[in-house]
Amino acid sequence: MAGHGPHHGRRLGVHRRGRHGAQERGEDPLTVALAGNANVGKSVIFNELTGLHQHVGNWPGKTVERAEGALSFRGRVVDVIDLPGIYSLSTYSIEELVSREYIAVEQPDVLVNVVDASVLERNLFFTLQLLELEAPMVVALNQVDMAESRGIRVDPGRLSEHLGVPVVPTVAVKGIGLEELMATVFEVATGEERERAQIRYGPEVERRVGELTRAVEGVETPYPSRWVAIKLLEGDEEMRRIVFGADPGVEELVRRLSSEIEGIHGHDTPSVIASERYLVANRIASEASTHLVPRTTFADRLDQVTSHPVLGYLFMFAVIAAVFYGIFSFGDYASGLLGGAFGALKAAYDARFGVGPFASFFWFGVVEGVVAGVTIALPYIVPFYVALSVLEDSGYLARIAFLMDSAMHRIGLHGKGFIPLMLGFGCNVPACLGCKIMETERERLICAFVASLVPCTARSIVIMGLVAEYVGFEWAAALYLIDFALIFALGRVAFKVVPGEPMGLIMEMPTYRWPTVKVTFRRSWDRMENFVREAFPIMVAGNFVVHVSAAVGLLDVVQGLMKPVTVLWLGLPAATGVVLIFGVLRKELTLILLASIMGTSNFALILSPVQMFVFAFVVMVYVPCIATIAVLVKEFGYRKAAIISLLEIALAVGLGGVIYRLMILFGLG
Ligand SMILES: Nc1nc2c(ncn2[C@@H]2O[C@H](COP(=O)(O)OP(=O)(O)OP(=O)(O)O)[C@@H](O)[C@H]2O)c(=O)[nH]1
Ligand SMILES: [Mg+2]
């Protein structure tokens, strides 16, 4: 077929391993781990190699757990492991500990250190630590295109000479260099161990490292002695425990050597070692790269505007308003179009099968579930996924996090916590999982709690499909504002109630990029596919159960039981009782079932504007859906998940009634 050049189709000349892929030639699979700083492109490489769909986006800290995939290259099975991005091999954070143990203890056959060529020096700081682990290693010099556009050219040959390991330039997003990367990985795995270039620190430090290295040689650890010696001087807790436990004499030696280093340099030993390392990284980076005339790029200018203390916020509000308005307009239009199409289909169905009890039960009990999903849910969901993906991939999401930093600090989180919150607009499940980027258990809990209050697409469907559509866009906007106020207020309460200290953090700002059509399309498609696969069966089943219940009279019983809450307190029609119960499964189900029970999707006929507003409010706040509850249980345990869920129900019902009365009082009905 024409156009099947090296950059099309199976670009790598590799075969992704099928689910039951036999191990060719009976060899053990080759394990390759991808390690490096955050946001350098590890997951893009992983996805390209394995055909899997790890989360990719332009902000640091997306991959929080290691992921595994496989491919077959030159007839051999290769297991690829995508690790979380880390900056050091200390045990400061869970991610660092996870990665370090994996690398040192489980020992992949080859380590691929992915570095970002546009910020080489900072990346090499980590590379140097990996080299100290003495694992077989290849450096993937990624994002060379970004480096070029910022006027930086890195010479892979020279970099390789300095580091003593092979360096392969790559542009992961275009698949460039990945075939060569794999070939080099194979050479390293099968070839003779090359003589490593020795990375040496200043003589005062080096002498003491040497002395300590010899002293710990007899101690059994999974790590090389030199690495152990350096870590001991850096005050690494885990190493101290292991080594001092095995040989208490070493403790005295470490203390003596540390105080000697401190005496010479006037700083504590860990800082001395860190600055020595920076010095080496800086020297290598500047020797291996040439700087062309720096240009002010469009990305730089955009950065200035969007991070500006005044313009930045204006821009942010404009972007968010435009995104929501765009989604609403598109959704409204598409929903109308699809509604018309299905109306015609229904007419054709009636003409063909008649309106007898069986034919209409089949239509309303079975087909209607799908129709409602397609006409009410999808028109809003699809543009939402696209918008979120573009915001994330361009790097703007990270800017919003930066702008929201001071506001977020008031609820005890730093700006980084805003990223899971924004992702929550898509779906609360990844949002609650994304809270893993927070440093402490306490921040994770607060973050997940507020994330579970963010109006996800399902809730937006109700807000837009009901309130924006029938009451007015400004009323929908008011609902969002109420929700944000609530998030802020509750976050603040949680911050005061949950014990612990607030943490500060500086997040690195990613450079702006043009989001690629491929990534945007693929991710939106994936999410939509997931949505259809998970939500549609529930919608259809929920719709069916409700119709059967109605047929046997069960519906009236449940509605009667719920009446004190729905009718008396919230001022809603009795039918909403059943609907709200089913809404726990999926929130858009509330709207779909309401249409189904009432026998019309023209909500103006069945609800007054105030009722629509109150109903949407309750749906927005009451209890996260079942999938989110499951994630909360998994991450924080039953007790905390139950507290969060019950709290949200109480809040929704309580405030819902108050809002109803206030609106009546002010004559807004
Ligand atoms: N221009 C360009 N962009 C790239 C390249 N490689 C990756 N990117 C982009 O860089 C960003 C980060 O890529 P990821 O693969 O998510 O990074 P990661 O290292 O897995 O990040 P964490 O999981 O957060 O540690 C994404 O927006 C990618 O599209 C490249 O070679 N060139
Ligand atoms: Mg990643």
C-alpha–C-alpha distance, residues 89 and 61, integer Å: 16
For the domain that residue 77 is a member of, what is the CATH number? 3.40.50.300
DSSP assignments along 298-343, one per residue: HHHHHHHHHTSTTHHHHHHHHHHHHHHHHHHHHHHHHHHHHHHHHH
- Residue 75 CA to ligand 2 center (angstroms) comes to 27
- Helices of type H across 247-290: 249-265, 269-288
C-alpha–C-alpha distance, residues 439 and 511, integer Å: 23
Is residue 576 located within the same domain as residue 430? Answer: yes
Cα–Cα distances in angstroms (integers) from residue 453 to residues 103, 491, 622, in the given order = 38, 10, 9
Is residue 257 located within the same domain as residue 320? Answer: no
Ligand 1 site, residue 43, Cβ cutoff 6 A: yes
Q: Which candidate, 51, 69, 68, 56, places its Cα nearest to that of 12? A: 51
Sorted by sequence, the CB contacts under 8 Å of residue 615 that are 6+ apart come out as 462, 466, 570, 572, 576, 590, 607
Q: Which candidate, 67, 82, 55, 80, places its Cα nearest to that of 434? A: 55
Ligand 1 site, residue 38, Cβ cutoff 6 A: yes
In a domain, 86, yes or no: yes
Could you tell me the two tokens for 398? 């990270």
Ligand 1 site, residue 393, Cβ cutoff 6 A: yes
In a domain, 4, yes or no: no
From 230, 261, 291, give the residue that closes a domain.
Answer: 291
For ligand 1, pick from 54, 56, 95 the residue to mutate: most ligand atoms within 8 Å of CB. Answer: 56
- pLDDT score recorded for residue 283: 94
Confidence of residue 16 (pLDDT cuts 50, 70, 90): very low
503 pLDDT more than 60: no
Q: Which candidate, 102, 98, 127, 97, places its Cα nearest to that of 112? A: 127
- pLDDT score recorded for residue 30: 93
C-alpha–C-alpha distance, residues 81 and 203, integer Å: 37
In a domain, 327, yes or no: yes
In a domain, 619, yes or no: yes
Atom of ligand 1 nearest to the CA of 143: 31
> Residue 21 is part of which domain span?
15-190
Confidence of residue 1 (pLDDT cuts 50, 70, 90): very low
Taken in order 583, 587, 590, 596, the sign of the CA dihedral is negative
- pLDDT score recorded for residue 20: 39
Is residue 528 located within the same domain as residue 636? Answer: yes
In a domain, 330, yes or no: yes
This prediction has a pTM of 0.77
- Give residue-wise pLDDT tens across range 335-371: 889 988 988 998 899 888 887 878 878 887 788 778 8
- Give residue-wise pLDDT tens across range 254-280: 999 999 999 988 889 989 999 999 999
- Residue 395 CA to ligand 2 center (angstroms) comes to 15
Mean of pLDDT values over 473-501? 86
Is residue 234 located within the same domain as residue 170? Answer: no
Is residue 29 located within the same domain as residue 172? Answer: yes
Is residue 160 located within the same domain as residue 262? Answer: no
C-alpha–C-alpha distance, residues 25 and 74, integer Å: 11
- pLDDT score recorded for residue 500: 66
Confidence of residue 21 (pLDDT cuts 50, 70, 90): very low
Q: Sheet with 15-16: list strands edge to edge.
A: 15-16, 67-73, 76-82, 30-35, 110-116, 137-142, 167-169
HEC letters along 321-332: HHHHHHHHHHHH
Q: Total structural domains in the chain?
A: 3
- Give residue-wise pLDDT tens across range 268-325: 998 999 999 999 999 999 999 998 776 677 888 888 888 888 899 999 989 988 887 8
Is residue 281 located within the same domain as residue 342? Answer: no
Residue nearest to atom 8 of ligand 1 (CA): 41
From 136, 160, 190, give the residue that closes a domain.
Answer: 190
- Residue 412 CA to ligand 2 center (angstroms) comes to 26
Is residue 41 located within the same domain as residue 183? Answer: yes
Helix, strand, coil proportions of the chain in percent (round to 5)? 65, 5, 25
For ligand 1, pick from 44, 45, 142 the residue to mutate: most ligand atoms within 8 Å of CB. Answer: 44
For ligand 1, pick from 39, 50, 66, 116 the residue to mutate: most ligand atoms within 8 Å of CB. Answer: 39
18 pLDDT more than 60: no
609 pLDDT more than 90: yes
- Give residue-wise pLDDT tens across range 514-569: 888 888 888 888 888 887 887 788 778 877 888 888 788 888 888 899 899 888 99
In a domain, 225, yes or no: yes
- Residue 414 CA to ligand 2 center (angstroms) comes to 21
Is residue 460 located within the same domain as residue 536? Answer: yes
In a domain, 197, yes or no: no
In a domain, 303, yes or no: no
Ligand 1 site, residue 444, Cβ cutoff 6 A: no
C-alpha–C-alpha distance, residues 433 and 416, integer Å: 14
C-alpha–C-alpha distance, residues 126 and 86, integer Å: 8
Query: 414 or 124: which carries more pLDDT confidence?
Result: 124
C-alpha–C-alpha distance, residues 137 and 383, integer Å: 42
Could you tell me the two tokens for 81? 């492991």
Whole-angstrom Cα Rg for the chain: 29
- Residue 2 CA to ligand 2 center (angstroms) comes to 34
Ligand 1 site, residue 173, Cβ cutoff 6 A: yes
- Give residue-wise pLDDT tens across range 431-445: 887 787 777 788 888
Sorted by sequence, the CB contacts under 8 Å of residue 209 that are 6+ apart come out as 201, 226, 229, 230, 233
Is residue 90 located within the same domain as residue 156? Answer: yes
- pLDDT score recorded for residue 584: 83
Atom of ligand 1 nearest to the CA of 513: 1
C-alpha–C-alpha distance, residues 546 and 552, integer Å: 10
Is residue 277 located within the same domain as residue 185? Answer: no
Atom of ligand 1 nearest to the CA of 171: 31
- pLDDT score recorded for residue 651: 93
From 155, 190, 225, give the residue that closes a domain.
Answer: 190
- Residue 118 CA to ligand 1 center (angstroms) comes to 12
Residue type, 227: W
- Give residue-wise pLDDT tens across range 367-421: 877 887 788 778 877 888 888 889 888 989 888 888 887 777 777 777 778 878 8
Confidence of residue 504 (pLDDT cuts 50, 70, 90): low
Ligand 1 site, residue 57, Cβ cutoff 6 A: yes
Mean of pLDDT values over 560-582? 90
Number of residues written out for the chain: 669
C-alpha–C-alpha distance, residues 471 and 463, integer Å: 10
Atom of ligand 1 nearest to the CA of 144: 31
Q: What is the DSSP letter of 470?
A: I
Is residue 471 located within the same domain as residue 376? Answer: yes
Residue type, 75: G
Sorted by sequence, the CB contacts under 8 Å of residue 589 that are 6+ apart come out as 538, 539, 542, 579, 582, 583
For the domain that residue 266 is a member of, what is the CATH number? 1.10.287.1770
C-alpha–C-alpha distance, residues 16 and 29, integer Å: 13
HEC letters along 149-180: HCCEEECHHHHHHHHCCCEEECEHHHCECHHH
Ligand 1 site, residue 62, Cβ cutoff 6 A: yes
C-alpha–C-alpha distance, residues 479 and 269, integer Å: 55
For the chain, give the percent of residues with pLDDT over 70: 93
Q: What φ, ψ does residue 115 adopt, rounded to 5°?
A: -125, 150
Ligand 1 site, residue 41, Cβ cutoff 6 A: yes
- Residue 129 CA to ligand 1 center (angstroms) comes to 22
